Structure formats: C-alpha cells, structure tokens
Structure 1
Amino acid sequence: MNQDVLFSQYLEELTDTITDLDHFNIEKTYEILRQLCIAFRVCKGVTEYYNNAEEERMGCGTVLTCYDSGEETAEVISCRTVLSDIVVADCKAYRAKGVKPWTETERKRIEMVERLMLTVVGRLRACGLVEQATLFDDAGYSNYRFLHSTIDQIGTSGHINQYAFARFNLRHFALINRQLGREVSDLAMRKYIDTIEEAVSPDGIVSRLGGDNFVAVFLKEKLNEVLARFEGIPISYNDGDRVMISSRAGIFLIPDDFYYYQPEDIMDRVTGAYNAAWRGDTGDIVYASEELMAEKDRFMQIRAQFPVGLKNREFLVFYQPKINLKDNSIAGAEALSRWYRNGTLMMPTEYISDLEQTMDICKLDFYVLEQVCRDLRRWLDEGRQAVRISVNFSRRHLINLALTESILEVVDRYRIPHELIEIELTETVTDVEFRDLKRVAGALQEAGIYTSVDDFGIGYSSLNLIREIPWNILKVDKNFLPVNENAEGERQNIMFRHVVSMAKEIGLICVAEGVETIGQVNILRKCGCDLAQGFYYDKPLPVKEFEERLDKHFYTNT
C-alpha cells in the first residue's frame, strides 16, 4: 500500500477516533499515531501541554508520548499553539539520525497531524479528558499505559534481552501508612521510588500499577543496585525521623532466546514471580522461570475446577484425632479436606495455597464446617460420644465483619452444641490484621465457640498474640517440638517446656501437633502437655475409619 493511501486511511481513522469524545479511546488513538510515525519515519512523537508559560519554561507540564523508538534524533518538526486562557500546547515529531530526510509532502502531512493533535488537546481539556490521555497518575508516577508503551518500544527494538523487569510492592506499607499518616507516608514512598528510579536511570523506568505496587524496567547490569533498594533503605521524613522501607519483588531477566510478541508476555512472567514473592513461600525476591509459568497454569486450572468441585461435593473431610496424653483417649480431632477429582485424591498441599490467593478459600472453609456439623449431628443422633472438632479458617475471613454470625448460622442450623466446635486461626499474621483477629476470636468466645491459635511459634508476634487475645487452645507447631527425649538441657526442649508451662498457667489447653515418635510423647507428658496430634497416633482418617476410632475411644500403642 503506497504512502498516499496509508495517510488517507490513518487520517480518517484518527479523525473518527479523536472527534468522538463521548467514546474517546486513548489506546486506539496512540496505536494510529504509532502507525503514522512508522509510515513517515518519525522516531518519536510527543505532545506537550502546559497550563501557563511558566510551566513551559520550567518543563513541568503534561507530556503525552505516542511513540518513541529510542533512537538518537536529528531533526524535529514542531507545531506550537496558545489556547484559550494562556494554555500552551506543543506537538513535536522527531526524525532519527541516519534516516532519509522528509520530503516536502511528508512534512506537510506531519504538520497536518500535529495541528489536528493540538486541536484535540484543546477539546480534551475543555471536556475534562486530558487526565485520561496522560501517561502519569495524579501523584506524578508514570502509569500502566506508559509502562505498556515502554515495554513495547523495548520489545521491538531488538535489544530486549539486555533488560530485566521487576514487579514489586512495599512491605508492610499499610502499617507505615497507619503510623505516619497518609501525607507523610506518601512522601516517604515518593522518596523511596526516587531512589529506585535513580538506580535504573537513564535507560529504565518505574511505573505504578496502583497503591504501593510498581514495575521497574532496567538494564540487567543494574540488577544489584535495584536489589539493594528492595532489601531496604532508610527514608527520612519530618526533619530527621527515618523509616526503613523495603520491597518484595518478582523479577524476570529476559533470556537471550526470548521472542517478544506483546507486553503481556513479559507481565505474565514477572507477575507470576511477584505472586510467589507475595506469598512468601520462597523469600521476598523470586525470579521468573519456566517452573513458575507451569505453576501459574496449574493455578488457573485449580481456580477453574474449584467451583465445579465444590458443587459436585468432590471435597471430602478427613479427621485427625487429638489424643489426651493422660489416658490415651480421643479428646477431639482436626477436620482436614481432601479433593477427590477424576479418580485421584489430591492432598491439601496441591490446592490450598492456590485457593488462599483468592476468596475461594473462604468457600472451602465453610464447606468443611458444614460437613463437620453434618457429621456431628449424625453422631449425636446415633448416640456416639461426640468430641470437639476443629476447623481451620483462613486469614482471608478476617475482613468479614459478619464472620461470627455466619459461623453460628451453620452451627445452629444443625443444632450442634457450641462447645463441640473449635475454630483454628493461624498466628502468622501482620499486626495490621491483629485487630481483626482479636475481634473475631473475642466474638467467637462470647458465643461459646472454642478458638485456637494454630502454628504457635513460627510467627513474629507469638507472645503478643496470646497476651492480648483470649484463646482457649494453643497449638504448638511441629517445628517447635523437641526431638531428643534424653537431652532435657537442649534449647528446644527448654523452650518447649516453658511454652507449655506458660500456656497452662494462663488457662490454655496445650496441643502439640506433628507428633511422630514415642520419645516425643514421653517429653510431652513430662512437660504436662494436654493433647497430642500426629502420625504416631494416626494420620488424617476418612470419616468411617475415624468413627471406628471414636467407638473404641482409646489408643493402646503407648
């Protein structure tokens, strides 16, 4: 297609797009301008918008870059106008060095498009749509549109394998926000991002996705400088006060054989690594890999299959007994889910962490609670000796202000005595969630539902957690258990003994989970621990097998 036809076609499309302000689409506009730039050998197209002449002099107006190949420029065609009430707009088209000069016809056509864009800027401003067209957010950070354009420019430059991409968010920034206030914390964030922009310049950028979530694009050779910022640096505020800000990040180092097709190819990979970093499974810095991409595909499959599995009642509830260490009787059990799908029994490790990334985990928790209540009701009706059953509830529930009412609705619908239900809440929470955890535990206790703090000993605020929240039961994580029966002076044995003593002194029932040996059982008894749970006694059991254990009531292996 010759240049005359191309110009007519693009000009018509551009005119239709920018004159329909009711359905103005900046992405479509940019794409047409990008095609025009390529057709007319324009290596960079920019429209600058200033509220007044002083802003123009200082260079602090709004800059809309529709296309930038990154090449060194040799010539510019500029079209400038002063709109009503002293608003200045300037449209510029650049030609790269070494590229054939424009013909007179090409110049006139470029100037025609520039005048059209200046008219559009005036109309957008009059209609309040300038912000929609900008590549920066209200706080001055470059936005996703700018990031998308930058990735595309680098991707089509032929040098993308020289770059790295990092998606990151500021660790515990909600706490900093709460402590310092919005205005001061925004300033601290701006200073922190400035240090990262300094590290990636002049060839990189930092764009904000929203809140305290950002993406950095930089040359691989700058990786160590960027990582140093992610690990944490002190940021000053209020004339000398300082706060340490750090980040968790997913990083994608573009391999040499990477084939670029579209920005989403890169964002998918860096986001997968970021999600792994956010979960904290493998540290605060996670690098993208083919394994992570496979993990993402598996996650998407789990998400797609979960609603069907829930509807078809594919999730089974298994019960792991809790043993009274004084007489080896069954004192309770923990309800644990298993997913029976397509003839295969999936263990929780294969799907729980995926469901935890969404609110789907909350649906599963209530599904398990309902199955537990159904089984308890049947046991009571059959005259079996029912025991207290604990159900795990994710931290995701803490934002639900009606959580206690929802739990009680299920329990009361099956007419289950409240003391037969225990809700396990993990202690691995940030102090931002602490108040919600305290509210939920307190409300459940007032309703007569038992509460337990799960995995005690692996969180950062364990003692504070049991000091301020009125639990009934403390479950000590298996990593905290002693391993050597004959080494009472070992640090781990001493710590465990004092944890049990402290729990009992403040009125908590102490449960040790992950018990695997007779030696551990003997230590637990010496320490005065109340209950034990683990493979030494039983693995999680299908309901029928657990009912057989209930009928026997006692274990005879110790």
Structure 2
Amino acid sequence: MIDDIVQAFQYFIKQMSEVTNPLDTDSIADAIKDICRLSNVGVMKVDVYMSITLIDTDEKEIHILYDDGEPDENVIKIKKVTGGSGAIIYTIFHKKGTEPWTERIHNRLDLMASILYMFTSSFVLNNIAQKYAFTDESGYHNLRYFGSELIKLVDDNKLKGLAAAQFNLKHFQGVNHQVGRDNGDIVMHSFINGLDEVKGCFVPVCRMGGDNFIMLMSADKIDDVIDYLKGTTVSFGDGFSERVNVSATAGIYIFEDDFELKILGDLMDKLMPASSLAKTAGRDDFIFCDSELMKIRQQIASIQHLFPLAIENSEFLVYYQPKVSITDGTIVGAEALCRWAHDGKLIPPKEFIPILEQSMDICKLDFYMIEQVCRDIRRWLDDGRKVVRISANLSRKHMLDVDLVQHLLTIIDKYEIPHDLFEVELTETTTDVEFKDLKRVVRSLQNMGISTSVDDFGIGYSSLNLIKEIPWNVLKIDKSIVPVDEDDENSPTSVMFKYVVAMAREMGLEIIAEGVETEIQVEVLKRNGCNIAQGFYYDKPLQVAEFEKRLETGVIIK
C-alpha cells in the first residue's frame, strides 16, 4: 500500500511540472484520485474566493477534485492558505468507515494540498486579477477587455466581415427614475444580454461607463442590431410583469479591407465622432463612419476654430422677430435671434448652434447676445423710443453654472435695463439634476422681476411636469402643435392645441404661438384664446434698423 502511494505521488509531481492549470487537467485529476483512493479520502475539494473578505460566504468557485463516499465529519484535514487579494482553501475529508489516517498518510495529504496550492495559486490569482481588470463593478466586460479581444482578432486576421458600434442608451436616467435604481440595473442587464444574442459575434457587449457601451457584431447583423437598438421592450419586477422600452443612439463602423488597427484608439477615432453626432446633433440616431461623416467632422472643426475670432470681431448679429397681438396688430415684444455674418454671407443658426452646443462655447455666445440686446435696449431708452420686452434664449448648458442668475444680472444692470423689459427663454431639461437647477434659476429670476418663458413647449417628454413644477410667466407653444390650414377642429393637433391653451390660461400664463404663417392659423388662435403670435405671417427676424422702424409705429398691418 505504501509503495502504491509513493508511486502515485511520484506520478502526481511529474504531471504537476508539465501543466499550467492543475484544476482543469485530466492527468492531474487522475493522479489526485489515485492518491485519495489509496489514502482513505472521502472527498477532496478546493474553494476559490475572489477576495479573502468573502471566506465563509457563498461567493466562491467550488472544484470537487475527488468524491468517493460519505465523508467522516469527525476526522477532517484542511489545508488553508491565502494570497494576494484572493483565497484558496483545500479541504480533505476522511472517508467514513475506513481505517484512520496514519501520521505518514496525513503528512502526504498535507503535502499534496501544499503542492497543489503552490502550483495553482498564481493561476487562480491571475484569474482574479483578470476578472477585476476586465470587468466593472456591475459585472459588465469593460473597455480594456474589448481592446484585448479586438487586438486578438487583428492578430488572427479575423476583423473582415465584422462591424463595431459605440452606443448610448437614450434617457436611461429617466428609466432609473421611473422604475428605481435596482430595477434599472436589471433592465440594463436584460437589454444588453438580449443584444448579445442578436449581434452574431462571440465578443460580449462591453461597458465604457454609465449608459455608454461598445460592441463588435457581424456585418450582416447590422440591420438586426439597429432594429434592436431602435427600441426593445424589457420586462422586470415580480414575475417580470412590468415592462419598459429601451432604445439607443449609435455610431457604427464597418471594418474595411485596408483599415489598419494597431491600438484600440484607431477604432475609437472613428466611432467616437459618429456616436457623438448620433447623440447630440439631432440628425439621426445611427451614424455610419463614412466620407459624409468626415465632411461633418471638418465642418465641426472649422466652426470650433473660427468661433473665438468671430466673437472677438463681433461677427454674430442680433435679429429681432416681433411678437404680435393678434387682436390689434401691435408689437408687444420680440425675440432676439442670432445670425453669423462671415466672409460676406449670413450663416443660419442650424449650421452652427448645434455644434456650439457640444461644448461650453454656446454659453459664451448666449452672454454675447444678451450684452448686445442690453445695449440696444439702453440706446432705445436713451433715444426716447418705444421699447417692448425682449426675450433672449439660454442654452441648458448654463444649468452647470451655479452663479448663472448673478452673471445675467451683472450684464442687465450694467446697462441699467428695467427688469420688466427683459425675458429669458429656456427649454426643458433632460435630467433630474438639470430640472432642479432650472427650477432654482426660474424662481431666482422672477424674484428679481425678470420674466421667464418655457420655449418650444409641446415637443419634449416631460412638458406637463415642466409647467406643473416651475412657475413660468410665459408659455411659448411650439409650431409642431399649432394647427396648419389642413387641420380641422377634430384633428389631434387642433384638439391638443385647444386644451394646451385652455390649460395655460387657467394657470395664468401668457401664451405665445410660434411658427404662425397663415391667416387661417391666426383665426384658429383667436378662436382658442391665444392672443399673441410669432411667425412669418407677421414678420421674419429683422435686422436692428428694420426692427426699429417697426417699433416707431408699433403696429404691423395685416
């Protein structure tokens, strides 16, 4: 018997010297079984913990190395060792109903466990390090893992036929607010797991942080992936009885034959601009990296480069679009709008405002415009002209500025502008934090006697909550819900417009309809009690001199 055990040990040590992972090697398993069988072992197992703080919990990997009958609870030999941030515990149970271990066998089993630990600890702890290096705290594979898998595919020449996408879950903070953080985590995991099944590539979807992800997919699965990202219903809650729709925006790149990838950054240089455009530019939810995208990138770079000098040279001009009382045609106010005069031509806002919105440059432009408006109002007052209330737009980027109200007052008061002649137009926000800041800003401005209006009402997701929670002075109804000539009184747009106006009147808000272009629309406004209009029917945005002529009479004849 002793000779058999010695031979088994010799074979065991020989095999240990030839393998890299003893826990997954058949020859080692056979050697362990021989030693255990000859040594009256009932069960031998190893518990692997990712952290020593998890010892004695269920958070472990269990490897059964030998199992031959019921163990004896009274006679147990445990070899317990830890290393690094993880822990490995070998446990050897004596087999019930067999001869007790001699000291010699006891020592050999102890030695076997020690040898196993010596060989397996570096492997197991390396796996622990890999896990922490390649996954985040929520269990998603991370960008480092994505990069390592990508380079493997490059080395194996397997990128052909694949595509990559960087995507952002739309309004997911709103989902968390709606269903709760814990359910939100379940929803996100379910959505990503479903995407893994659609994309046709073995590399899992990886998380870049927050609600931003990156993935590889088979190029022939792009349409399926886009359909999935456009909107997929995810179930959650008890019995998965509750549901929520999740969608995303994405930048997509199809690997070209001549594309050279040496580091992850080579791919990110293509994906990130496309993903950013999809998320912020309002062009499309899915942007492909191609020559058209390169033109857009060049346009963005050009505008960002020209902007500081354009501000310095006063290239941005204020145009005023009148707000008109539809009852008597008098001008009761105006909105200050921006135009860019550059190289002898006028650049429309849609070509530069969305680009400036991608950075804090938009805030610099807003303050520049407000300063020009205040100068004009001061000049009109000094000249004894009739003056109406002028409104200026503020980007929601300003919500990051905790001193916004003071910065506005500094400009307004520098020109000694009566506060009732100035109005701030703000659009709705997309996050809870911004909403709270918006509420604070509106209240602070009103305390200073400065009017505030909610711009583009009717195009957002939270418009009703916006006017319920925040004490606006003015409601500007977006042209998208102002009935057009083809709408009858029972059309959805007409019904919506009727009740929005009625609701605003009940709340004591001043109401302005934007985008009014026809006489029929004016009649609709009159019929529903909306008494102020802004739009081409009365006037387009006017240069300062033209607007001043309108103010001289104070009436627009129609």
TM over 0.5: same fold? Answer: yes
Contact 1:248 1:274 in 2 (8 A): no
Matches within 5 A, 1:268-283: 268-279=269-280, 281-283=282-284
Preserved CA contact (<8 Å) 2:487 2:493 = no
Question: Which residue is equivalent to 1:102?
Answer: none
Secondary structure in 1 matching 2:398 = helix
Q: Per-residue deviation at 1:267?
A: 2.2
User: Does residue 200 of structure 2 align to residue 211 of structure 1?
Assistant: no
Measured after TM superposition, the shift of residue 156 of structure 1 is 5.0
- Return the letter of the residue paired with 1:219: S
Following superposition, the deviation at residue 418 of structure 1 comes to 0.9
Q: Work out whether residues 429 and 435 of structure 2, in 8 Å CA contact, stay in contact via their aligned partners in 1.
A: no
Partner of 1:521: 522
* Distance in structure 2 (CA, Å) of the matches to 1:484 and 1:453: 26
Q: Is the Cα–Cα contact under 8 Å of residues 317 and 336 in structure 1 kept in the other structure?
A: yes
Matched, 1:296 2:300: no
In 2, Cα distance between the equivalents of 1:342 and 1:199?
A: 50
Secondary structure of the structure 2 residue equivalent to 1:332: strand
* 2:366 matched residue in structure 1: 365
How far off is 1:347 after superposition?
A: 1.0
With over 3 angstroms needed to count, the CA separation of the structure-2 counterparts of 1:416 and 1:86, relative to structure 1, is: closer
What residue is the counterpart of 2:153 in the other structure? 154
1:64-103 correspondence to structure 2 within 5 Å: none
| CA distance in 1 between partners of 2:170 and 2:290 (Å) | 23
Could you give the per-residue CA deviations for residues 50-81 of structure 1, whole angstroms, max 9, x where no partner exists? 7689978769xxxxxxxxxxxxxxxxxxxxxx
Q: Is the 8 A contact 2:171 2:430 kept in 1?
A: no
Q: How does 1:399-418 map to 2 (within 5 A)?
A: 399-418=400-419
Alpha-carbon distance change, 152 to 193 in structure 1, aligned in 2, over 3 angstroms: same
State the Cα distance separating 1:148 from its structure 2 match: 2.7
**Hey, what does 1:65 align to over in structure 2?**
none
**What is the distance in 2 between the residues matched to 1:430 and 1:336?**
26
* Number of matched pairs: 457
Q: Is the 8 A contact 1:475 1:513 kept in 2?
A: yes
* Residue 256 to residue 433, structure 1, CA distance change in 2 (3 Å): same
SS in 2 for 1:215: strand
Structure 2 CA distance for partners of 1:460 and 1:191, relative to 1, 3 Å: closer
Letter in 2 for 1:152: I
Partner in structure 2 of residue 254 of structure 1: 254
**AA aligned opposite 1:355:** L
Which residue of structure 2 aligns with residue 12 of structure 1? Answer: none
CA 1:87–1:370 in structure 2 vs 1: closer, same or farther (change >3 Å)?
same
- Structure 1 residue 146: Cα displacement: 2.6
CA distance in 1 between partners of 2:132 and 2:467 (Å): 52
Distance 1:147 1:514, change over 3 A: same
* Per-residue deviation, 1:214: 0.9
Q: Give 3-state SS (helix, strand or coil) of 2:454's partner.
A: strand
Aligned in 2, Cα 1:85/1:226: closer, same or farther, shift over 3 Å?
A: closer
Q: Identify the residue that residue 542 of structure 1 maps to in structure 2.
A: 543
1:446, distance to aligned residue in structure 2 (A):
2.0
Alpha-carbon separation, structure 2, partners of 1:289 and 1:270: 11
User: What amino acid does structure 2 have at the position aligned with 1:215?
Assistant: I
SS of aligned partner of 2:440? helix
How many angstroms apart in 2 are the aligned matches of 1:425 and 1:295? Answer: 28
What amino acid is aligned across from residue 270 of structure 1 in structure 2? Answer: L
The alpha-carbon deviation at position 445 of structure 1 amounts to 1.7
Q: Does 1:456 align with 2:457?
A: yes
CA drift of 1:155 comes to 3.9
The 5-angstrom pairing of residues 71-470 of structure 1 reads 134-178=133-177, 182=181, 185-200=184-199, 203-223=202-222, 226-227=225-226, 229-230=228-229, 231-237=231-237, 240=240, 242=242, 244=244, 246-254=246-254, 256-262=256-262, 263-279=264-280, 281-427=282-428, 429=430, 433-470=434-471
> Matched residue of 2:393: which SS?
strand
Which region of structure 1 is more displaced relative to structure 2, 545-554 or 411-420? 545-554
Q: Aligned partner of 2:354: which letter?
A: S
* 1:479 to 2:480 alignment: yes
Q: Would the alpha carbon gap of residues 376 and 240 (structure 1) be closer, same or farther in structure 2, given more than 3 Å must change?
A: same
Tell me the distance in 1 between the aligned counterparts of 2:179 and 2:503: 35
Does the aligned pair in 2 maintain the 1:365–1:394 contact within 8 Å? yes
Q: How far is the alpha carbon of 1:253 from its aligned partner?
A: 4.5
- Report the alpha carbon displacement of residue 189 of structure 1 after superposing the two structures with TM: 3.0
Structure 1 Cα separation of the partners of residues 226 and 471 of structure 2: 41
Offset at 1:391? 0.6
Cα distance change on mapping 1:517 and 1:178 into 2, 3 Å: closer
The letter for the 2-side match of 1:260 is E
Describe the superposition over 1:256-313 as per-residue Cα deviations: whole angstroms up to 9, x where unpaired.
5452244434323322332233237245444333222321221122222222222332
CA distance 1:434–1:87, change in 2 (3 Å): closer
Distance of 1:387 and 1:134 partners within structure 2:
62
1:161 alignment partner, SS class: coil
Aligned residues of 2:165 and 2:251 also touching (Cα < 8 A): yes
Query: Matches of 1:229 and 1:269 in 2, distance apart?
Result: 22
The CA distance in 1 between the partners of 2:171 and 2:295, in whole Å, is: 29
Is the 8 Å Cα contact of residues 170 and 248 (structure 1) preserved in structure 2?
A: yes
Report if aligned partners of 1:500, 1:529 keep a CA contact under 8 Å in 2: yes
TM-score (norm 2): 0.72
Partners of 1:176 and 1:491 lie apart in 2 by: 28
- Report which of the two structures shows the higher radius of gyration computed on alpha carbons: 2
Residue 551, structure 1, aligned to residue 549, structure 2:
no
Give the 3 Å change call, closer, same or farther, for CA 86–146 of structure 1 in structure 2.
Answer: closer
The match for 1:492 is 493
Q: Report SS of the residue matched to 1:470.
A: coil
Q: CA deviation at 1:504?
A: 2.5
Amino acid at match of 1:343: G
- 1:436-488 CA-to-partner distances (Å, cap 9, x unmatched) read 33222222222211111111222223333223322111112122222228944
Moved more, 137-146 or 323-332: 137-146
Aligned mates of 2:540, 2:507 — CA distance in 1: 30
Structure 2: give runs of 5+ residues left out of the alignment.
1-47, 65-81, 89-120
Look up the equivalent residue of 1:499 and give its one-letter code.
V
1:141-162 CA-to-partner distances (Å, cap 9, x unmatched) read 3332332333334345444231
Moved more, 311-320 or 239-248: 239-248
Gaps in structure 1 of 5+ consecutive residues: 1-47, 60-81, 89-117
Separation in 2, partners of 1:197, 1:441? 45
Secondary structure of 2:164's match? strand
Q: Aligned pair in 2 of structure 1 residues 161, 130: CA closer, same or farther (>3 Å)? A: closer
Cα separation, 1, equivalents of 2:201 and 2:502: 60
C-alpha distance in 1 between matches for 2:86 and 2:276: 48
Distance 1:192 1:157 in 2: 30
Partners of 1:460 and 1:496 lie apart in 2 by: 16
- Quote the offset at 1:319 in angstroms: 0.8
User: Are the equivalent residues in 2 in contact too, given 1:485–1:523 (CA < 8 A)?
Assistant: no
Task: Please give the per-residue CA displacement for 1:519-551, whole angstroms capped at 9, x wherever unaligned.
Answer: 323332333322221122221112122112212
Match of 1:34 in 2: none
Structure 2 vs 1, CA of residues 304 and 133 (structure 1 numbering), >3 Å: closer, same or farther? Answer: farther
1:75-97 Cα deviation digits (max 9, x unpaired): xxxxxxx9679878xxxxxxxxx
Following the alignment from structure 1 to structure 2, what is the Cα–Cα distance between the partners of residues 367 and 435? 26
SS of 1:134's partner is: helix
User: Is the contact between residue 481 and residue 497 of structure 2 (CA under 8 Å) also seen in structure 1?
Assistant: yes
